[in-house]
């Protein structure tokens, strides 16, 4: 049984994250989507809300026989991965700009726990520019985020911030 941890902030989960989970499912029997509890950041969605949203959207994705669970964690990722007896960490790399930060983290994690591998995966090109940060920025400025996040995420963002529908039309994502 090969188990991987897919850690992140997921604030909010994007279609790019879901794409990585589906790709990870081709390599692993189980993926734990692990939301970092970070007291230093003020998130848009609370950890509990992010857990709920992820659980909801994961119901609908194609994942074969792969088990996908959602959890949250605090502290060192490698320690959490050891507690869960995970074999690998999955991270998505969209562009070269992601690579430097991701490589630093992967090598630091390897130094802390040499037995734990990091697997980098590329999302579909259509999501290569999608980030939670940009999704929030566009949303708050009234732009369309349709096609970038699951519909339930957009609905929950609207309900939470009481922002009306988009003021711009999206070109195909």
DSSP 146: B
Binding to ligand PNS by residue 8, rule CB under 6 A? yes
Can you tell me the distance from the alpha carbon of 94 to that of 16, in angstroms, rounded to the nearest whole number? Answer: 9
* Distance from C-alpha of 61 to C-alpha of 39, rounded to nearest angstrom: 30
Q: Confirm if 155 and 163 have CB atoms less than 8 A apart.
A: no
36 is an interface residue for ligand PNS by CB under 6 A: yes
Smallest distance from ligand PNS to CB 94, Å: 11
For residue 14, state whether it binds ligand PNS (rule: CB under 6 A).
Answer: no
Residue 132 appears among annotated catalytic residues: yes
The one catalytic residue among 50, 87, 94, 136: 94
CB of 28 to ligand PNS, least distance (A): 17
In eight-state DSSP terms, residue 41 is: S
From CA 139, how far away is CA 19, in angstroms rounded? 21
Tell whether residue 76 is a contact of ligand PNS (CB under 6 A). yes
41, 59, 111, 169: the catalytic one is 41
Q: Which residue carries 């630093």 as its tokens? A: 104
Among positions 90-129, residues that touch ligand PNS (CB under 6 A) are: 105, 108-109
Q: Which residues bind ligand PNS (CB under 6 A)?
A: 7-9, 36, 76-77, 105, 108-109
């Amino acid at each position: 049984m090969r188990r991987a941890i897919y850690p992140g902030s997921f604030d909010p989960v994007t279609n790019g994250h879901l794409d990585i989970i589906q790709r990870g499912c081709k390599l692993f029997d189980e993926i734990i989507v692990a939301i970092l509890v970070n007291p230093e950041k003020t998130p848009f969605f609370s950890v509990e809300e992010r857990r709920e949203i992820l659980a909801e959207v994961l119901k609908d994705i194609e994942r074969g026989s792969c088990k996908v669970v959602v959890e949250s964690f605090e502290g060192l990722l490698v320690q959490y991965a050891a507690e869960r007896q995970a074999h690998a960490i999955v991270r998505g790399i969209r562009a070269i700009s992601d690579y430097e930060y991701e490589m630093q983290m992967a090598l630091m994690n390897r130094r802390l726990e040499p037995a734990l591998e990091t697997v980098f995966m590329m999302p579909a090109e259509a999501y290569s520019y999608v980030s939670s940060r940009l999704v929030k920025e566009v949303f708050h400025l009234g732009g369309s985020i349709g096609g970038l996040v699951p519909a339930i995420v957009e609905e929950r963002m609207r309900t939470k911030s009481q922002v009306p529908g988009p003021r711009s039309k999206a070109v195909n994502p």
